[in-house]
Structure 1
Amino acid sequence: MSLDADTEYVGFWARVSAALLDTILLLVVSALLLWVIYALSDWEQRAHAAYWVEFAIGYVLPVVAVMALWMLFASTPGKMGIDAVIVDARTGGKPSTLQFVIRYLGYFVSTIPLGLGLIWVGIDPRKQGWHDKLARTVVIRRKRTRP
């Protein structure tokens, strides 16, 4: 896949809706996991393991889930719902693992200054947030083939 004049870059509001769907899905999965784990443990074990369980589900699970989805599909369920995919900004091909890692870490850079790096998606001609620029990625809509 190459980027050309017909490439449709996914804009701010579509990406917000995709992120919202991803967040809701992750919250549901996390809540179910916590409910099952705490329902199966007794009170003594719960107090000792609570910190590690909550850390794993609250912080490790999202990183692993997002990275796995990006590496397998170059997308997340929210992005899949809007036919969007993350691609290398130069070639239009699938980004490397390093690009995905930089992109994930770039979310912190994009978010810390009052979300300005995320809002940048609405300003940039290629709809790139700062995390996209750091990782040299773009989010595009998949081209639909007509029968």
Structure 2
Amino acid sequence: MILIRHTFHVTEPSPQLVRQTARPLRRLTAGVIDTVVVLLLTFVAAIFIASSSALADDSSIANPWGSDPIVWAIGAAQILLGVLYYGLAHAQWGQTIGKRVVKIKVVSVSTGQVPAFGQAAIRALFFLGAPLVPYVGWLLALVDLTWMGLDGRHQCLHDRLVRTIVIKKP
């Protein structure tokens, strides 16, 4: 029998980054602002996708989106726009509109610089996609955000996944 052992290399943030860590209230405030921005973008996209849905609502706990293709298209547009919004903004400036307002910034733990686009996009996809997992999605999203309050560096699970940290912008 062959035993394969895999060790994950976890990069710890520098003490300087840890001292600059943004507090949960700032992060949550930025999150509310950014949620409004993404919802406005989705609303504009929804206008182009369809003006109304002709199918009856057949959503359930197992399938909260139902089978209406219009609803699925709007949901997909919201995820795509959200990943682009967060991914591009974090990779370019380390900040979204909400983070800019409350003066916080996302940086890579290993470099202290803005994350690469791939890193930022995966971070956004986890954050935005977690609620879509059938049965446990909202629980996963709740654990992701709650982790920020339990973690000494105020990192959410999506931060730990891609090794980012949110800091106060000087």
| TM, length-normalised to structure 2 | 0.64
- Residue 140 of structure 2 aligns with which residue? 113
Partner Cα distance (2:99, 2:141) in 1: 23
1 or 2 for the larger relative contact order (CA 8 Å, sep ≥6)? 1
- Residue 75 of structure 1 aligns with which residue? 95
Q: Is the 8 Å Cα contact of residues 108 and 114 (structure 2) preserved in structure 1?
A: yes
- Give per-residue Cα distances to partners, 1:34-80, cap 9 Å, x unaligned: 346657xxxxxxxxx94675255333222222212122211111111
Gaps of 5+ in 1: 40-48
The equivalent position to 1:20 in structure 2, one of 23, 26, 32, is: 32
- Residue 138 of structure 1 aligns with which residue? 165
CA RMSD of aligned residues (A): 3.2
Q: Is the 8 Å Cα contact of residues 104 and 167 (structure 2) preserved in structure 1?
A: yes
* Identical amino acids, percent of aligned pairs: 26
Partner Cα distance (2:141, 2:49) in 1: 35
Q: Name the structure with the higher helix share.
A: 1
Instruction: Give the 3-state SS of the residue equivalent to 1:62 in structure 2.
Output: helix
Distance 1:54 1:17, change over 3 A: same
Gaps of 5+ in 2: 1-13, 52-68, 132-136
